Amino acid sequence: MVEIELIQQCGEAVARIATASDGGLAIGTTGLTLSYERDGSVIWTKPMRSDDDKIRPTQRVRSLAFSEDGKKLFVAASDQVVALDAATGKELWRYSPPRSFGFLVVSPTALDVNGDFVAASFDNGSVVAWNLDGQQIGIWKTNDAPRMLRMLSNGMLCGTDSFSICVWDVATRISVQRHRLDERAVGFDASPSGKIICRSLRSITVQDMADLSVVAKHPAPSGPPWVAINHRGDRIAFAGEYSVTVGPTENPSEVIPLDGRVSALTYSEYKNGFLAGLSDGRIVTIA
């Protein structure tokens, strides 16, 4: 039986959600605000806007991720990657990529954290990795620079540029695996257990990272591109316009109707379920 619980109401359309191992909740909105909450109470809120006219047309909160202990929050927004103290919102370090040709704005497209590594991809085809303290440990450019990515527990980075799935060794910056997709990916997620979920306009495909064999394939409903997979890789969720479908990887049959448009979706190990953000600012957990 699937249970639905309202866990927060933030007042603006939810763009990104992340949960920490200690119960902290980070919310990025389409209004370019970032908030950190615990036990239903807002601890701090800060704007993520830029006053630069060159940045404002494309700025948004693109990715949120916590360190494993929940003490640091990493944010990819506007043209920067920022590390914050989760408890206070104090900035610990930031990275602003140099502009292309000296004037073209370069923005992060995705970010994730696992263990001692933080990695982000950028829209100029570069990928940058740091340790948690902001010391850069690698930067490389690739034609397959991911628009969506996940850091894995073995020091690997897995992502897609929408046309292929690639896996890199972060320490060596070497591509160790590449697989051309049959359909363009508009949604992506991956689990530490080695399962990948991709959404195209027509289908939801789950693959085993070891050999990229297809584990399951399901028709995609009409709606936004959001997909999520749990840490064990045995449960998935994907969004319809006003619903979320959840269930076992091989047969996700529970269609959960929601009285709001789905604008974000992720898996929360702390909640042991999926979190859906809605366009009216509500966040619900589906466990």
Among the listed ranges 94-103, 143-152, 156-165, which one has the minimum average pLDDT value? 94-103
Supply 252's token pair.
Answer: 């996700």
Task: List the chain domain ranges.
Answer: 4-286
pTM, two decimals, is 0.93
User: Residue 1: its pLDDT value, please?
Assistant: 47
Hey, which of 2-16, 41-55, 170-184 has the most confident mean pLDDT? 170-184
- Torsion angle of C-alpha atoms 21, 267, 142, 78, degrees rounded to 10: -80
Closest CA to 90 of 108, 78, 72: 72
Supply 170's token pair.
Answer: 């972060």
Question: For 4-286, which CATH superfamily applies?
Answer: YVTN repeat-like/Quinoprotein amine dehydrogenase (2.130.10.10)
Whether the pLDDT of residue 3 is over 60: the answer is no
Q: What is the mean pLDDT of residues 86-102?
A: 89
pLDDT digit string, tens, across residues 108-126: 999 999 988 999 999 999 9
Q: What is the mean pLDDT of residues 142-147?
A: 93
Residue 12 banded pLDDT, cuts 50, 70, 90:
confident
Average pLDDT across the chain, whole number: 90
Q: How far is CA 200 from the centre of its chain?
A: 17
CB 48 within 8 A of CB 33: yes
User: Residue 9: its pLDDT value, please?
Assistant: 66
Residue 65 banded pLDDT, cuts 50, 70, 90:
very high
Q: Cα separation of 76 and 224, whole Å? A: 21
pLDDT digit string, tens, across residues 167-219: 999 888 999 989 999 899 999 999 988 899 999 999 999 999 888 889 999 99
Whether the pLDDT of residue 10 is over 90: the answer is no
For tokens 């050999």, name the residue: 211
For tokens 């263990």, name the residue: 115
CB 94 within 8 A of CB 82: yes
